[in-house]
Amino acid sequence: MSIVFRPRLVPTLAAAAAIALTLYLGIWQTHRAAQKELLQALYDARTRETPVRLGGSSSAQDMLYRRVIVAGRWIPERQFFVDNQVHEGRAGFYVITPLRLAGSAAAVLVNRGWIERDAHYPDAPAVPVPDGPAEVRGLAATPPRRYLELSTDTVSGNVWQNLSIERYQDRSGLTLLPVVVLPDASTPGLAPVHEKPDAGIAKHEEYALTWFSLAATALALWLALNIRRQE
C-alpha cells in the first residue's frame, strides 16, 4: 500500500482562496494591533503628564485619558444615576453629577462614584450634592459606544440604563464637554470608579489568532482531502 497525493483543481482553488483571505485578514488585524500599541503608549504617557485645566472648547480626542482639573459649581437638580453597575459582586448605580465650569456656559459630567441599590429600587438612593464652588481632579474618559439596552425605555426619572453624553445633553439642554471625569478623591458614601487606558490591543490580537488558525485549518483540510491510500 502506498500514499498518493493527488490534488484536485476545484478543492485546490477553493483552499487557496480561503487561505489567502484568512492570511490577509490575520495580517490586517496584526497591523491594527500595532497601531493600537502606539495609541496605548500615547494614553499611558498622558496619565503621567501634569494635569491640565478643562475649558469649554476641550475635545474628547485631546482630553482622553489625561489628568484634568475642573472648577465650577455642581448642578444638583441635573444629577442622575446609571443602573446595573456591579462593584465587588453587588449591583448598584454610578452617580453622575454635572459640574458647570467657572466662567463658561459649558458643563462636564463627573462620575462621583458607585452606590449600592437599596430597598427603594428601582429608584436610586438619595445622594446629596455639595454646595458652593468645587474643584475636581481626575481622569478624563469617554463612555463605551456599544452597550446593551434592556428595553426601549432607557430612562426612568433620574435613572438611566447607560451613560450617553449625547443623549443626556439632548435631554437636559446642557452644553457638555465630550468627556466624563473620574475623580481621584473619593466621595463619602460612594465607592470610587477607576479606569485604565485600553486602546483595544488584545481584541485585534485575538482576531489575528483566529484568522491564522482558520488558514492553518484550511491548509490541513486540503492536504487531508487530497491524500489517497493506493493498493
- What tens digit of pLDDT does each residue of 8-24 get? 888 889 899 999 999 99
pLDDT for the residue numbered 148? 57
Cα–Cα–Cα angle for 59, 137, 160, nearest 5°? 65
Q: Comparing 27-31, 140-144, 149-153, 168-172, which segment has the lowest mean pLDDT?
A: 149-153
User: How far is 117 from 92, CA to CA, in rounded Å?
Assistant: 5
What confidence tens digit (pLDDT) does each residue in 37-53 have? 988 888 888 888 888 88
Q: How far is CA 19 from the centre of its chain?
A: 33
pLDDT at 143 over 90: no
pLDDT for the residue numbered 77? 94
Amino acid at 11: P
pLDDT at 152 over 70: no
pLDDT at 150 over 60: no
User: How far is 13 from 116, CA to CA, in rounded Å?
Assistant: 59
Average pLDDT over every residue of 164-184: 92
